Structure 1
């Protein structure tokens, strides 16, 4: 199980295209060596060149070594942070049901009702609701605690809004609206009025 999890983590981290860990260690070790060499020549400039020039050169070597080693350490830290985030994300996904989300839905049903309205509108965009879309909408309805009557009413409104979006109602769209209206027990007069109101809104936009 651990091997599988490690493989999944590595798969997620592969999108970053990081350098091998060996490169980071080389940067750290070489940078540290430069710092040591630079400090040594700061203390013992020797007589090969002017001592002041050697000290300036040694100081530059110390700075360059520190930057190089710091870059390697930074890369290591970034990789560890990314790995930790990937592991935490996987742990959260393994926990199953999100009880916090369920609580939020139960406490804010009206807000999530709008989500169902948008879901119906999206399903009606092509003029027809497929069996798969209907099944998905039914699951949303049950999760939100919406009755069949309320869902049917939302369905009619979504069908009318989707059909009237272009400013006209085709014959196929009219049949779909009629079917949805019958399921919602809407009268022909109420349906016609709802269609007219939606067309007026579409024309006004």
Structure 2
């Protein structure tokens, strides 16, 4: 899952414009990388941050940009599948089943909210999203009911942050054909700037 930013290979393109081939290749690389940086910042990082409350620096770190070079004609934008701590999102707690202690975690999302794994202690002053501990190992005796069932605990001696959705999850929902069309349009714009600087 990624966005690829690349110009179509046109045989004889340099000759058609009367430009040295090495210079023409450098123009393509420059245009591709400028467009890719714009796509990452304007179409991904900034709207993701505005929708979720997660700082832009976090998305910048979690969305990788592989730039084009002489060996690789395309730039690639690849989001991380690792979750961002839920506390970094704008979030709130919703009581479940009348509990005064454990609440469901809702984080701000694209055009709404999303349930995040974990819980919020409603009686806590800080109300931070905490991880639910999944215990895979159980002591199975002869009369144990549902021996394959996973057991859940909330008894961390040191509470751990709940993990929120990943940049990849945002990417899957946000990136559409329209997004890719905007990326292609920006690339054409950047390459035309390169041509204008060279020819005029």
TM category, shorter: under 0.3
> TM-score w.r.t. structure 1 length?
0.22
In terms of Rg, which structure is larger?
Answer: 1
- The structure with the greater share of residues assigned to strand is 2
> TM-score w.r.t. structure 2 length?
0.22
Q: Higher relative contact order at CA 8 Å, sep ≥6: structure 1 or structure 2?
A: 2
